[in-house]
Structure 1
């Protein structure tokens, strides 16, 4: 397909200042598109913005995408990223994301022959992607991120499932489903008073934590052989959860609780200078790792062996989080 000829027929198209074989077009006020020919001339690398277009950022993104297209899509044809991006104008974007045609579906109505030759590229944040998204998850994530907003804040990658015995709310997924951090924080707060309720959440690195309510909040790292449950205060729990989704070291001070600091933060204080949280054995009677104060009131398993012994649920989620009840 002759990409140049196709793009030249777009409404209000004009050359994009800077890179060769690059264009800008705006079919309506507040809606802007920019695109550039791939390095091999076989594809259109395209981005769009709604009421937030910044030409300098668009040019930087397309130039980076053209140079790193192979890295972006290597092993991830539906949704991939390449790091090392330095966004102009003091913006915090640190990667360029690429979206494949099976996810974005651009031009499938007006010019379906063009669709397979188009890859969307957007400035993004590294904390928003796991690098292992399935096709279904890539479609959900693409819709969630609203990447056509150049002024957006980061939306960290998060999977979650939960059951609340007090509110009767629960997730309807067979496993953990994609959701937004504000939903996680809401459900963690709602655990209070719901005996046996739980929230299980996973960050972009595949690390999983499980929180249960048994007269207090208890948390343990999930699916690890040495995960130990501990009691944790409500405020510390919310800070802990947020820090596991993204690392923002600035703003932490030496007087902060250790739970406030992401583990990857180079300025994180040593645990020996912090009070130890209440801990319980890694696997309770019969290897069942109970967090309840009385037998039979719910359990938080520890490690793969404990999970197998109890037949715990889990599995891979399919798309975004669904709520029942």
Structure 2
């Protein structure tokens, strides 16, 4: 039995408006599921939405993913693929993200034949992905931070961080950078003021690493590689947020 035949067995499923080979259904109040075949008809794009269902947006997402397909799996053996260049009226999304079954975890118990062909596809923001995430990291971000099932969500930038603050005695364990949120990053950058000997090291979606330091003489600086500039507390927080949301030029003195 083919993918289309299997999907059409789903209770209350109806064709998606505006896109052939695509379907929508609602298994419970507030829950909306959508699916579409890829160009080869060998794979199935999926997205589960909670509230705020926008069928034209989902049709555009699936059509974009379908148009960017190539021979073989849409994922090419990876757990996460970012497709640049997406846009849709009324939204700020600028990419479509594809994720493997081990990342999206959509249940296929009722239709196990779909487990091996289901690819999560959702609208997203470029600042949310580095493209180097492991399957485990992608799954954790998908379920805890990105909220891909919300079509009205705001960006959740890719941020990895470690820090140590001599004044608050707060800090991370070990030398590895761990995922965090923009709110945590900006809070810790703000707490560097008046905390000599403290630092915040962070990485953005471009895989660029920055180190903000409160020196023993009380001055604040931020460095990327060998490029270091002194900054005031307010500028440091604003710069840190800009670097993880949009990347851009190396830090410079304001």
Instruction: Note whether the superposition's TM-score is higher than 0.5.
Output: yes
Once residues 192 and 137 of structure 1 are traced to their aligned partners in structure 2, the CA distance between those partners, rounded to angstroms, is 32
Once residues 91 and 105 of structure 2 are traced to their aligned partners in structure 1, the CA distance between those partners, rounded to angstroms, is 28
Q: Which runs of 5+ in 2 are unaligned?
A: none
- Contact map agreement 2:99 2:119 (CA 8 A) in 1: yes
Which shows bigger deviation, 33-42 or 110-119?
110-119
- Contact map agreement 2:190 2:234 (CA 8 A) in 1: no
CA displacement 1:243-299 (0-9 Å, x = unmatched): 112339xxxxxxxxxxxxx429xxxxxx8xxxx67xxxxxxxxxxxxxxxxxxxxxx
Once residues 136 and 31 of structure 1 are traced to their aligned partners in structure 2, the CA distance between those partners, rounded to angstroms, is 26
- Greater Cα radius of gyration, structure 1 or 2: 1
Q: What SS does the corresponding residue of 1:242 show, helix, strand or coil?
A: helix
Taking structure 1 as reference, are residues 48 and 207 closer, same or farther at Cα in structure 2, changes over 3 Å only? same
Once residues 128 and 155 of structure 2 are traced to their aligned partners in structure 1, the CA distance between those partners, rounded to angstroms, is 7
Taking structure 1 as reference, are residues 117 and 76 closer, same or farther at Cα in structure 2, changes over 3 Å only? closer
Q: 1:186: Cα distance to partner?
A: 0.8
Q: 1:48: Cα distance to partner?
A: 2.0
Once residues 247 and 101 of structure 1 are traced to their aligned partners in structure 2, the CA distance between those partners, rounded to angstroms, is 29
- Contact map agreement 1:3 1:42 (CA 8 A) in 2: yes
Q: 1:173: Cα distance to partner?
A: 5.3
**1:242 has 2:241 as partner:** yes
Once residues 249 and 74 of structure 2 are traced to their aligned partners in structure 1, the CA distance between those partners, rounded to angstroms, is 29
Query: Hey, what does 2:53 align to over in structure 1?
Result: 53
Q: Could you state the TM-score of these two structures normalised by the residue count of structure 2?
A: 0.89
Q: Could you state the TM-score of these two structures normalised by the residue count of structure 1?
A: 0.71
Once residues 122 and 237 of structure 2 are traced to their aligned partners in structure 1, the CA distance between those partners, rounded to angstroms, is 30
Q: Which runs of 5+ in 1 are unaligned?
A: 249-261, 265-270, 278-325
**1:124 has 2:120 as partner:** no
Q: 1:153: Cα distance to partner?
A: 1.0
Q: What SS does the corresponding residue of 2:222 show, helix, strand or coil?
A: strand
Which shows bigger deviation, 93-102 or 191-200?
191-200
Once residues 202 and 246 of structure 1 are traced to their aligned partners in structure 2, the CA distance between those partners, rounded to angstroms, is 11
Q: What SS does the corresponding residue of 1:205 show, helix, strand or coil?
A: coil
RMSD in angstroms over aligned alpha carbons? Answer: 2.3
Q: 1:140: Cα distance to partner?
A: 2.1
Q: What SS does the corresponding residue of 1:69 show, helix, strand or coil?
A: coil
Query: Hey, what does 2:96 align to over in structure 1?
Result: 96
Once residues 124 and 7 of structure 1 are traced to their aligned partners in structure 2, the CA distance between those partners, rounded to angstroms, is 25
